[in-house]
A and B are shown apart, each in its own frame.
Chain A
Amino acid sequence: MTRPGKASSAVPAADLAPLAARVLPWVLLAVLAAFPLLAPVLGLEYWLGFVRRLLIVMIAATSLNFILGYGGMAALGHAGFIGVGAYTVVALVDAGVGSAWLAWGAALAASALAAAAIGALSLRTRGVYFLMITLAFAQMLYYLAVSLSAYGGDDGYGLYTPLALGAGIDTGDEAVFFWVVLAIAALVFALFSRIAASRFGHALMGIRDNETRMSALGYPVFRLKLAAFAGAGALAGLAGALLASHNAFVSPSLMHWTESATLLVMVVLGGLGRRWGAPLGVAVWLVLAEVLKLHTEYWHWPLGLLLITVVFLAPRGLAALFARAGRAA
């Protein structure tokens, strides 16, 4: 296994690469922060909401990349935790709660709990069986949401009043909510980058590569995996809570198994176990889908073709292609 960190320190010619890697995220953050101001000038208002959704999906995809790419846990039920987060917000709003801190915090906590419980049962299995059992639990959550007639059942639940953050921040304003989402997404990504490079992250990668050896070395393998799974579930739940506010609507379709599959597809497309894999995969997939949808009603097959092409020609994802191009230059 060659990790990008190792490779760049071994190649002296790539002195510029670390600098670019350090500067680029800040440039990206600045461009994104300026986007709500630039969009009306450039006539891109339509894309403001789209980029906000992209940032939210990126949070969920990054959390999946953490357990799948770094932890080797192929979960096909991640959309279930998105749903737990979204429905926690619905339940609180329905009970009269108006504070975003409370609603989003509760969504984090509820999905962390759900992920810890599901993880504790599912992590006894491996490989395809793990894939299937996480899918099974997500399906249970899906049918639970369908049957909750108090929250609209199949028809979903509309959230008409924006949640309040306090301090004069009006989340009902398109641009302000964009900045809130951007701040949260940036925080989550920074946190993910730190954890991936921490002792915990390295132990997780060790478990992915050789579980037996790690447990022989004395690492509490099951507990580490469970902690990663619960943490990832919590972040997916946060994404779900944000998605609820973004759409002003929540329905069980958030948790349909194809949503979990799409999340998985985006992460693999971008590059498993790579820092920028999830954001890259989400951006490429969602932008392509959006552009295709504008031009044709047959927008599925080009994406299908892209997946097959990536599997055969770029098996380690798009981020790996960029890394290779950067090293060759």
Chain B
Amino acid sequence: MDSIFVIEQLLNGLGYGLMLFLLAAGLSLVFGIMDTMNLAHGSLYMAGAYIAARAHEAGAGFATAVLAAVAATVVIAFLLEQAIVRRLYARDHLAQVIATFGVILIADDVVKAIWGPSPVMAAMPAALAGPVQLLPELPYPAYRLLLIGVGLLVALGLYLLVSHTRIGMLVRAGASNRGMAELMGVRVGRVFSFVFVLGAALAALAGALMGPISAVQIGMGEAILIPALVVIVIGGIGSVRGAFVAALLVGMVDTAGRAFLPPALRAVLPPALAAELGAALAGIAMYLLMAAVLILKPAGLFPARG
């Protein structure tokens, strides 16, 4: 294991973590402000990935395709919020889980009807397909650098929006004490619609960007939903800062687990056992992290309330 390999894996972990953050930020705010568990967030991610891949394939430039995906998903999310999610705010978490699970089932069939059951190959933009020489001996895929760059920019933008603007203040007020914010004249319902649509835009952006380096297929939303939920639970529900720290932690732990655990175990254990144990531990690393955090801090690392 040389240092080049380690740096490469850390960059991969950073990129994955930032994409998880894009997903988790919206999920966490929706949860924090309106106390609403939205399992269909992963379906919005899937919508973004499919629309971007298809638009790019149809001849649109990559940036245009990504923007189109974000715009289309925002419209879908707005309609979803008006039709279903809005009516779930006052209900308990179980009702929200059941109804949004229903939305997942419908979304998967809609995608199947429009784009067919087989996975879609999402192409990378030609200009970014090659590697960039980061250090004399460290070539790194340009596209993954783009992910890191966009992820950091969005994180910064979200930080400025939430911490330094009037609308951000309303969002934070709603997240820390909804009842009080309502009494002070904040229209929390309208703030929530904004947050829901913003979260959808971020999810679509993550989906569109992840498309070329993962599989664009039905069920991709459910697969990424669980790590995103792990992130918001570790970070503390409702906290954007918590989601950021936790997303990077989970991204690093997951990537490092897959890259470093098997070789490390091979050094001390017989190869067959090391391969098995390494794969198992790599898969469960992020869940171990979450279980450990919850047992020590039952409300996550950065609780938004109280």
Contacts and interface: CB of A to CB of B under 8 A. Distances in A.
Q: Size class of B's contact patch?
A: 35 or more
Contacts of B113: 298
Contact of B93 (A131, A140, A308): A131
A307 B99 contact: yes
A191 interface: no
Interface residues of A, number: 46
Contacts of A127: 93
B222 A311 contact: no
B102 A311 contact: yes
B94 A74 contact: yes
B234 to A, nearest CB: 9
Contacts of B102: 303-308, 311
B279 A136 contact: no
B284 interface: yes
A178 to B, nearest CB: 30
B166 interface: no
B105 A307 contact: yes
Nearest to A118: B291
Contact of A129 (B88, B112, B284, B298): B298
Contacts of B284: 139-140, 143-144
Contacts, number: 129
A146 B279 contact: yes
Interface in A259-314: 261, 264-265, 268-269, 272, 297-301, 303-308, 310-312
Nearest to A144: B280
Nearest to A309: B102
A147 B230 contact: no
Given A146-B283, A300-B108, A265 B98 contact: yes
A137 B291 contact: yes
Contacts of A129: 233, 294, 298-300
Contacts of B95: 268, 311, 315
30 contacts: A124-B298, A129-B299, A136-B290, A136-B294, A139-B283, A139-B284, A140-B288, A140-B291, A143-B284, A143-B287, A144-B284, A148-B276, A268-B94, A297-B112, A297-B117, A298-B109, A300-B106, A301-B106, A304-B101, A305-B102, A307-B99, A307-B101, A308-B99, A311-B88, A311-B91, A311-B98, A311-B99, A311-B102, A312-B87, A315-B95
Interface of A: 74, 121, 124-129, 131-133, 135-137, 139-140, 142-144, 146-149, 257-258, 261, 264-265, 268-269, 272, 297-301, 303-308, 310-312, 315
Interface of B: 31, 37, 84, 87-88, 91, 93-95, 97-99, 101-106, 108-110, 112-113, 117, 222, 226, 229-230, 233, 237, 272, 276-277, 279-280, 283-284, 287-288, 290-291, 294-295, 298-300
